């Protein structure tokens, strides 16, 4: 089992976004603009990342 990590930075605002998109961003642990978090690259997390990828800067760690 690999321990791949993904570094995510919120680069677009959550204001006036779909509730599902807001929930995905919150589920990834992001709360404010330009905040960066590192999450495991599990299928569950990557599904959320794919849904809101237009709002994130994504880097592999």
Mind listing the pLDDT tens digit for each residue in 5-24?
Answer: 999 999 999 999 999 999 99
Instruction: Note the helical H segments in 3-58.
Output: 19-27, 43-51
- Output the pLDDT for position 1: 52
Question: 58: closest CA among 3, 7, 5?
Answer: 7
Q: How far apart are CA 59 and CA 61, in angstroms?
A: 6
The domain made up of 5-60 has a fold known as: Ribosomal Protein L30; Chain: A, (3.30.1390)
Q: Quickly state the pLDDT bin for 2 (edges 50, 70, 90).
A: low
- Output the pLDDT for position 52: 98
In this structure, the dihedral spanned by the alpha carbons of residues 47, 51, 56 and 57, taken in order and rounded to 10 degrees, is 50
In this prediction, residues 45-52 reach a mean pLDDT of 97
Note if the pTM is more than 0.75. yes
């Amino acid at each position: 089992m690999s321990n791949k990590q993904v570094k995510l930075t919120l680069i677009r605002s959550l204001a006036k976004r779909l509730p599902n998109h807001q929930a995905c961003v919150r589920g990834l642990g992001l709360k404010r603009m330009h905040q960066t978090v590192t999450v495991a690259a599990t299928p569950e997390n990557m599904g959320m990342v794919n849904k809101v990828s237009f709002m994130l800067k994504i880097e592999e760690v």
